Amino acid sequence: MKHITLQLETLTCPSCMAKIDGMMKKTEGVVKAEVLFNSSRVKAEIDESIVSTAQVKQRIEALGYKVLGEK
């Protein structure tokens, strides 16, 4: 189990939260996920044997939100 925090580009629409959150919860290997609206971050707990940080990043980017970095 690994904790990751990803810094996204500034989230400005209320629906972004729901979308990213929904995607994360549907991603296999993501045990827990939280979208932090004000700081524009995604905090998650992932099972690395199923999904990698890079894959999570990729999925967020595919949704249309740039991932600026990992904390």
Q: Which residues bind other proteins (CB under 8 A)?
A: 10, 12-15, 17-19, 22-23, 26, 36-39, 41, 59, 62-64
Q: Minimum CB separation from other proteins for residue 6, in Å?
A: 14
Structure tokens at 29: 């290997």
Q: Rank residues 37 and 48 by Cβ distance to other proteins and give the closer one.
A: 37
Report residue 47 CA to chain centroid gap: 14
Contact 59, 46 (CB under 8 A): no
Quote the least distance from Cβ 48 to other proteins, whole Å. Answer: 21
